[in-house]
Structure 1
């Protein structure tokens, strides 16, 4: 998967409908997010997303792509996301994809860490 396709795929995980998300997340996926239940499996993450409004706009920065072996892609980035109605979200994220067959990739790991808020 070339770099442009990687970023388009990752963006779709933030913005596309629940069915696309279900098709893209591996059953063996592990996710860590900054809200309860914090650590989820693929099925739990799909269920959580099915009941959550999707983000309407996302922008990535600090983008990194690594390919440690054939059929495995690891990415890191910062996301700025916004929902219709003005809710905003920022996090530092990682995702790992594995290739199941030609042109078929699934997410096997995803993590989100919001930026630290420094007290003043």
Structure 2
């Protein structure tokens, strides 16, 4: 017996876990498009689709940002011009909570690509999905090169979105 009593499996019935690929459901497609929007759009987009108590975790600086700190930091940062999302996974914990995980390759004008492992948690309030948590783990340079070599010549799992701001 462990600290949770008979085991973690007792907790699993509380969640309806369904893993789907990026485009398998209407909700899935909408959430992936929303996620792309957080990379490419401005502060007004964040105001619309960000939960008021959202937490975002980035490398230092800026580190951990909560609520209004997110939009304030966004106004000071240059926007991404492209984003590719690879190896995406969508897990519906229940009808109101969905988790996205993916590998991001983003680029700003004139900069080298930024590569990171990302996760986002969305919750549905009434009929609107809102982002409640986002986390990025940048890949070290040696893994970024290795990832590029692995993906060379292989079809990407998702579409690339180009947008100039």
- Give the TM-score, by structure 2 length: 0.66
What is the deviation of 1:50?
A: 1.6
Question: How far apart in 2 are the matches of 1:117 and 1:58?
Answer: 18
Query: Using a 3 Å threshold, how does the CA distance of structure 1 residues 48 and 30 change in structure 2: closer, same or farther?
Result: same
What is the deviation of 1:87?
A: 4.0
* Residue of structure 1 in register with 2:135 after alignment: 111
Structure 1 unaligned regions, length at least 5: none
Question: How far apart in 1 are the matches of 2:46 and 2:27?
Answer: 20
- Give the TM-score, by structure 1 length: 0.89
1:79-118 maps to which residues of 2 (within 5 A)?
A: 79-102=104-127, 104-117=128-141
CA contact (8 A) 1:25 1:46 kept: no
Q: Per residue, is there more strand in 1 or in 2?
A: 1
Question: Matched residue pairs, number?
Answer: 117
Larger Rg: 2
CA-based RMSD: 1.4
Residue 61 (str. 1) matches residue 86 (str. 2): yes
Structure 2 unaligned regions, length at least 5: 1-25, 143-165
Q: Per residue, is there more helix in 1 or in 2?
A: 2
